[in-house]
Amino acid sequence: MDSSEITFEVPGQPVPQPRPRVSTRGGFARAYTPKGHAIHAYREAIELLARTNGWRQGPTQGPVAVEIDCYFERPASHLTKLVKVKPAAPSFPGRVDVDNLAKAVLDAITTAGTIWADDDQVLELVIRKHYARPQAGGRTIVTVRRLPP
């Protein structure tokens, strides 16, 4: 593996960062994400893999490029009884915003603290969403590449 590039795969369905909920307590508003939301487990998995796969010499201080490929499981309604994709099934996952997917991944990597100091170092970002092949399962593949200063 090139020392200027890190790639890791997060198993499981990709989860977009949800909009925060807001409540008031004592006259003060607070924003939060419900404890039972799937985003917490997804971000923990990304953080663990980022810590495991981070650069040995510590987080980079320079600019980086990030590619994120999100593979979603197809709903059962898209498949035939023989587990083939129906001709009328959509070709891409439409109800998930790519910016929310990127936010979840970038924030989790920042929290890990082993790849970069802050996600403001990301100068290039490519995010793609796909349907996984039938029975392949969801996953997220993240590639981070150092850029010249």
Domain harbouring 43, CATH code: 3.30.1330.70
Give the structural domain span for 138: 5-146
Question: Can you give the pLDDT at residue 1?
Answer: 43
Question: Can you give the pLDDT at residue 9?
Answer: 97
Question: Can you give the pLDDT at residue 92?
Answer: 81
Strands (E), the chain: 5-11, 21-25, 28-32, 64-72, 122-131, 139-146
Which residue(s) pair with 37 in the sheet?
none
What is the gyration radius of the CA atoms in the chain, in angstroms?
A: 18
What total of structural domains would you count in the chain?
1
* Cβ atoms 147, 81 nearer than 8 A: no
Structure tokens, 140? 């997220």
Question: Can you give the pLDDT at residue 123?
Answer: 98
* Cβ atoms 51, 112 nearer than 8 A: yes
Other beta carbons within 10 angstroms of residue 80's beta carbon come to: 11
Per-residue pLDDT in tens (0 to 9) along the chain, 149 residues: 457 999 999 999 999 998 888 888 888 988 878 888 999 999 999 999 999 999 888 999 999 999 999 999 988 888 888 888 898 888 888 888 999 999 999 999 999 999 999 999 999 999 999 999 888 899 999 999 999 98
Question: Can you give the pLDDT at residue 97?
Answer: 93
CA separation for the pair 45, 48 (Å, rounded): 5
**Which of 90, 122, 91, 93 has its CA nearest to residue 105?**
122
